[in-house]
Amino acid sequence: MTSLTRKRILSFLLSLLLFIGIFPQTAAAAPPWPDGPSISAEGGILFDANSGAVLYGKNIHEQYFPASITKILTALIIIENCQMDEVVTFSHNAVYNVEAGSSNANLEEGDRLTVRDCLYAMILKSANEAANALAEHAASTTAAFSSMMNAKAASLGCTDSHFNNPSGLNDPEHYTSAHDMALIAQAAFQNETFAQIAATLYYDLPPTKRNPEGLRIYPGHQMIKKNSPNYYPGAIGGKTGYTSLAGNTLVTCARRDDMMLITVVLNGHRTHYTDTRTMMNFGFRNFRSVDISDMDDTYTSIENDLTIAGLPTTNLSVISVQKDRRLSLPINGEFSDTTSSISYELPPEAPEYAAARITYDYDGRTIGSTYLMVNKNPTEDPADVLMTEPPESSEALQTEQAENAPEPYQQKEQILALDPSSEPETLEPVLDKSPFQPIHIPIFIWIPVLILSLAAAGYGILLLLKIRRQQESAERRLRYQRRQQRLQDIGMSGDEFKLLLEQKRKKSLLSAPKRRAFKRQRHQKIGRR
């Protein structure tokens, strides 16, 4: 099949999908989002750590004082910027620039501990002097470390926060929101080192000036202790906080089966554990976690649509939905109840070889996202070869194609093989002339020469079409550098690809059975009126 025929088939398919998409269709209504619980704290959130979905929230963007849950962010920054065996020396400022009576590990100026020791002291014992010492170790001063905190928070998508110290002690310029703390906790618990520290039930600090025998410390978070009345099955860690201005604050992470949930309580009124239990129970009882790559064939099934009339799909088989990405569904909801949208504007954290970002919504709520991936090393179809790297210029491309074209002497040898008595001088003019110009050759070989000329002309046309297609592909890549670089292996332009995906998505989501079910429901409602 020629390239021209392939293009005509592809154009027909795109037109057909566009025609189908013109007619509006409506899916049957999905089961509603579960009604949320009631909590006593001023602010709170239930957040799916795997999908990023907000399952329940109360004043999630209101600003509150965080108290010591601030130390989650401090720990994450230290883990990412320091080695665990680095030695931290406690300064006078680190030890004494704290509120009297605040949480500490009984450390003194001049004590030397490893970064690892300080992290355990800060997370389990909520030691404020350890937070100060770590901040000074990483950034020289606590003020400079605060700048690192705000930059990190912004990179995680936080929009309601400003951090002014590493410990969370009272400061009018130190505040956050439930949603921001959920994002910070999500990043922290995705870090293996932090998750290990937060789940530890005890840790032995080495000898120090005030603790010559060393000091065994235990976590302040009661929900991970089996002997505590606040123990919660599945809880894997978190951080407590309290100041007179912040009230009780609490961050908790729990895992059951494929679900990992995060709760944040802000400005609690001594009900931070019951509020957390209430939200956790609501999440595990009313939602389930789904692997997107196991459910969504809307985008990858594009390959099957392109098998019409033998259109090759070798290059398109490299399209896939990213693995190990999840979304949150109500227990009685189905994946078919979701709607999806695709965007080619990729965020900085997008994985390598991502071509587009797919976002899923349920009942008006975002419940997860994934990426459409393109393999950079597909098996190419010899009949539909595309350049894997753009040439420096069209001239370079033509030079490359010319070098791969059959040499004139090869055609000459083919003609000589038909008539060994022919002289080279007689054949040279034949090779230099157009097949449409008069050719003076002996009559007994003009028919084979004509056949060869027609074959060469046909090959030349195919070669020109191939060169033209490759030139067009190179120009598209220059105009759409980022997206086209990722999509160059699938053999079509970005606009064609986007149109095909959009129409395929509409066709998949808006099926005829759902439309008929919706119409029946609508007629029933009208009849009842």
Give me the active site residues, please.
Answer: 68, 71, 126
Query: Please, are residues 168 and 70 in contact by the beta-carbon 8 Å criterion?
Result: yes
Q: What phi and psi, each to the nearest 5 degrees, are found at residue 31?
A: -55, 140
Q: What phi and psi, each to the nearest 5 degrees, are found at residue 148?
A: -65, -40
Q: What phi and psi, each to the nearest 5 degrees, are found at residue 185?
A: -65, -35
Q: What phi and psi, each to the nearest 5 degrees, are found at residue 458?
A: -60, -40
If we measure between CA atoms, which residue out of 523, 510, 461, 526 comes closest to residue 23? 510
Query: Please, are residues 199 and 237 in contact by the beta-carbon 8 Å criterion?
Result: yes
If we measure between CA atoms, which residue out of 467, 355, 358 comes closest to residue 403? 467
If we measure between CA atoms, which residue out of 49, 72, 65, 74 comes closest to residue 266? 65
Query: Please, are residues 266 and 252 in contact by the beta-carbon 8 Å criterion?
Result: no
If we measure between CA atoms, which residue out of 112, 109, 132 comes closest to residue 122? 132
Query: Please, are residues 211 and 200 in contact by the beta-carbon 8 Å criterion?
Result: no
Query: Please, are residues 384 and 6 in contact by the beta-carbon 8 Å criterion?
Result: yes
Please state, in angstroms and rounded to a whole number, the distance separating the CA atoms of residues 358 and 5: 32
Q: β-strand 87-89 against 112-114: which pairing, if any?
A: antiparallel
Residue 259 is which amino acid? M
The CA–CA distances, whole Å, from 213 to 91, 210, 220 equal 22, 9, 22
Query: Please, are residues 295 and 362 in contact by the beta-carbon 8 Å criterion?
Result: no
Query: Please, are residues 129 and 94 in contact by the beta-carbon 8 Å criterion?
Result: yes
What string of DSSP letters covers 363-385? Answer: TTEEEEEEEEEE-SSPPPPGGG-
* Degrees to nearest 5, angle at CA 168 with 115 and 59: 130
